[in-house]
């Protein structure tokens, strides 16, 4: 919409010059549609309107620059992910690449040194540990690689697998990628939990270890191949980890959902966990979604020449201020992810969720899924039908996998962007407006998928009654 200054620039056509009205009458025009209609009636000039394309905000590059954090991988993580082949192009492999790469993990994180460059925290261990302990050394071929040269903690206590955080989610796909986890990654894990991945895996492990309800080979049925042996080995490790209490447990994950997101699952309500609940996160996150949708609606109306009343503030500007204030408070609630074991519980859940998908993929015909079902959106809902709901494979109106995956990825990516975007840049064409504009498809996708999943339209109210509220 033209502002006052542009209307008064010499040489610019205005209603008085077109014979529509006097200059005194031209100034109050706030309704652009009415102005153009009058110009057309007076034989004015052709007018073509289009939305200005704002330059994108490269949030991926900023996320890659975030320093690595100290984090301990769950035991046997590289073994659990043994069915991943990074050369594959299916969605399960893409989910692995979103978070991990096969490389020796470094347990300790990084800090910014006096020169302003990233430096490994292992270089500072001598200031905290006893010198003899710090230089003790350890047995095994990975004594130098495991911790970047440090010898504490020893491998017998802390796992340093041949898989590490180096994800390409929400970036241009190049490495080095994102080397740490954020609260948005817990949102992805939550929707994978709600999808039923861990319920499917539990049924498979029960059949493998106890009930025998599925004919899962231990490797002996195919003496000429090794694929069954690898799958059986991974299942055996999962059973042992579950028995020893070192697996990703329901209690661990639900505690993280409650204390970080204020979300829970249907089964989680029965556990009645006594934890802190980060209620402000879920309130502010859905308030952000609502006001972002309002921003898009107002902008579409403006592009459609609906205009605003004379003298009033453009609705997009008012909404931008609300969005900025909401993000400011919401980002303060992200801090809960940095407390206690929340990040470790999230990492363990991610490893087990992706491993579960590879197990389902490897055993889909053993489960009784038609061989033609070779894509995750086909075999994961089918496995849920057979193993969890104990019914024949059905085809509903909405694909269970697709709507959960859309919520998981869109919600996660919005929150990842929010970690690095400058939400205080409120001016027209500023970074906040550019970012809000470029994530429109994600916000709309999250709204649509959530509505298809739960029947709740989170765009109808700033405080919707969401299904997963803890």
Structural domain boundaries enclosing 27:
4-41
- Count of structural domains, the chain: 2
Q: Which residues of the chain have pLDDT under 50?
A: 1-30, 47, 138-150, 308-313
469 lies in the same domain as 397? yes
In which residue are the tokens 């303060």 written? Answer: 332
pLDDT in tens, 408-430: 999 999 999 999 999 999 888 89
Residue 164: inside a domain, yes or no? no
Residues whose CB falls within 8 Å of the CB of residue 347, separated by 6 or more in sequence, listed in order: 71, 73, 74, 165, 181
Cα distance between residue 208 and residue 201, in whole Å: 10
Cα distance between residue 400 and residue 402, in whole Å: 6
Residue 412: inside a domain, yes or no? yes
Q: For position 381, what pLDDT does the model report?
A: 96
Residue 165: inside a domain, yes or no? no
Q: For position 29, what pLDDT does the model report?
A: 38
Q: For position 160, what pLDDT does the model report?
A: 82
Residue 190: inside a domain, yes or no? yes
86 lies in the same domain as 11? no
211 lies in the same domain as 287? yes
35 lies in the same domain as 67? no
Q: For position 35, what pLDDT does the model report?
A: 56
Q: For position 12, what pLDDT does the model report?
A: 43
Q: Which is nearest to 461 in space by CA: 311, 293, 239? A: 293
- Are 363 and 382 contacting, i.e. CB atoms less than 8 angstroms apart? no
391 lies in the same domain as 309? yes
Residue 205's SS3 state is helix
62 lies in the same domain as 18? no
- Are 324 and 432 contacting, i.e. CB atoms less than 8 angstroms apart? yes
Q: Which is nearest to 326 in space by CA: 384, 287, 272? A: 287
- Are 358 and 323 contacting, i.e. CB atoms less than 8 angstroms apart? no
35 lies in the same domain as 63? no
Residue 134: inside a domain, yes or no? no
pTM for the model stands at: 0.81
Phi-psi region of 85 (alpha: psi -120 to 50; beta: other; left: phi over 0): beta
Strand-pair partners of 142 = none
CB-facing half-sphere around the CA of 218: CA atoms within 13 A = 6
Cα distance between residue 65 and residue 414, in whole Å: 18
- Are 168 and 97 contacting, i.e. CB atoms less than 8 angstroms apart? yes
Q: For position 197, what pLDDT does the model report?
A: 98
Q: For position 260, what pLDDT does the model report?
A: 98
Q: Which is nearest to 436 in space by CA: 448, 446, 426? A: 426
Q: For position 30, what pLDDT does the model report?
A: 45
Residue 267: inside a domain, yes or no? yes
36 lies in the same domain as 96? no
Residue 263: inside a domain, yes or no? yes
Burial class (CB in 10 A: 0-12, 13-18, 19+), 98: buried
Q: For position 127, what pLDDT does the model report?
A: 78
234 lies in the same domain as 291? yes
Burial string for 360-375 (b: 16+ CB within 10 Å, else e) reads: bbbbbeebbbeeebee
Residue 374: inside a domain, yes or no? yes
296 lies in the same domain as 268? yes
């Amino acid at each position: 919409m033209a502002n006052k200054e542009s209307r008064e620039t010499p040489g610019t056509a205005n209603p008085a010059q077109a014979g529509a009205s006097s200059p005194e009458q031209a100034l109050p025009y706030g309704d652009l549609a009415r102005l153009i209609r009058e110009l057309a009636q007076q034989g004015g000039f052709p007018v073509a309107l289009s939305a200005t394309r704002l330059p994108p905000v490269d949030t991926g590059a900023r996320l890659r620059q975030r320093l690595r954090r100290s984090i301990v991988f769950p035991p046997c993580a590289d073994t659990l992910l043994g069915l991943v082949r990074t050369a594959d192009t299916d969605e399960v492999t893409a989910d692995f690449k979103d978070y991990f790469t096969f490389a020796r993990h470094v347990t300790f994180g990084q800090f910014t040194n006096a020169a302003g460059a990233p430096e490994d925290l292992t270089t500072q261990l001598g200031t905290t540990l006893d010198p003899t302990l710090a230089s003790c050394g350890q047995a095994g071929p990975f004594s130098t690689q495991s911790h970047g040269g440090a010898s504490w903690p020893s491998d017998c206590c802390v796992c340093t697998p041949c898989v590490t955080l180096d994800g390409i989610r929400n970036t241009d796909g190049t490495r080095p990628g994102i080397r740490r986890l954020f609260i948005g990654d817990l949102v992805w894990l939550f929707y994978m939990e709600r999808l039923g991945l861990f319920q499917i895996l539990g049924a498979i492990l029960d059949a493998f270890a106890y009930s025998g309800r599925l004919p899962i080979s231990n490797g002996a049925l195919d003496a000429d191949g090794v694929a069954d042996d690898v799958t059986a080995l991974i299942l055996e490790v999962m059973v042992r980890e579950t028995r020893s209490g070192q697996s990703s447990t329901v209690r661990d994950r639900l505690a993280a959902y409650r204390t970080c997101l204020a979300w829970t699952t249907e089964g989680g309500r029965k556990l009645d966990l006594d934890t802190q609940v980060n209620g402000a996160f879920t309130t502010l996150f859905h308030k952000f979604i609502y006001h972002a949708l309002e921003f898009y609606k107002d902008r579409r109306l403006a592009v459609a020449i609906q205009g605003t009343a004379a003298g009033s503030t453009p609705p997009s500007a008012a909404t931008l201020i609300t969005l900025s204030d909401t993000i400011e408070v919401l980002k303060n609630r992200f801090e809960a992810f940095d407390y206690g074991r929340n990040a470790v519980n999230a990492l363990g859940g991610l490893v087990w969720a992706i491993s579960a998908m590879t197990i389902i993929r490897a055993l889909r015909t053993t489960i009784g899924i038609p061989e033609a079902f070779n894509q995750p959106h086909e075999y994961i809902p089918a496995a849920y039908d057979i193993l969890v709901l104990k019914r024949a494979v059905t085809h509903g109106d909405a694909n269970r996998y697709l709507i959960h995956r859309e919520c998981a990825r869109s919600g996660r990516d919005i929150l990842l962007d929010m970690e690095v975007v400058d939400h205080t840049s409120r001016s027209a064409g500023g970074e906040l407006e550019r970012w809000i504009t470029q994530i429109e498809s994600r916000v709309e996708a999250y709204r649509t998928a959530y509505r298809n999943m739960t029947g709740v339209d989170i765009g109808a109210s700033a405080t919707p009654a969401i299904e997963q509220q803890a």
